[in-house]
Amino acid sequence: MKEGRIAVPSVGTGGIDGKRAGHFGHCDVFTLIDVAEGRIQSVSTLANQEHVQGGCMVPVNLLAGNSVNALIVGGIGMRPLMGFRQAGIDVYYDAERIDIQPVVEDLIAGTLPRIDESQVCGGGGGH
């Protein structure tokens, strides 16, 4: 990914040196990383909005409304995944690492895989 805005579900205050949340829908904030010419240009955070079980489109709409075109998750349900795809947001997957910066660097380098439907979870924060 050479250009665009990446969102990473994060715990606490987030930021490039922060930790990823295990499931995107229940994160504290989204760390937003703006990339241009294959380099990190700026980092900001966006507070997640509360959603009840089944309200998985709330974060989809939040990120789409903030010009995000890529999302890195460690877990996501099928319904929001379909929502992100419809919104034109590519979803990438790394369930192992919790540090934000290394997975962002892998996405920029083109080595982070897109999520496969076999990796989708049941939702509800069980991941």
More confident residue, 58 or 122: 58
The model's confidence at residue 125, banded by pLDDT at 50, 70 and 90, is very low
Sheet with 90-93: strands ordered across: 39-47, 29-36, 4-10, 70-73, 90-93
- The pLDDT of residue 59: 87
CATH superfamily of 4-92: Dinitrogenase iron-molybdenum cofactor biosynthesis domain (3.30.420.130)
Q: What's the predicted TM-score (pTM) here?
A: 0.90
For 103, list phi and psi in degrees, rounded to 5: -75, -35
pLDDT digits 0-9 by tens, 65-101? 999 999 999 888 888 899 999 999 999 999 889 999 9
Domain ranges of the chain: 4-92
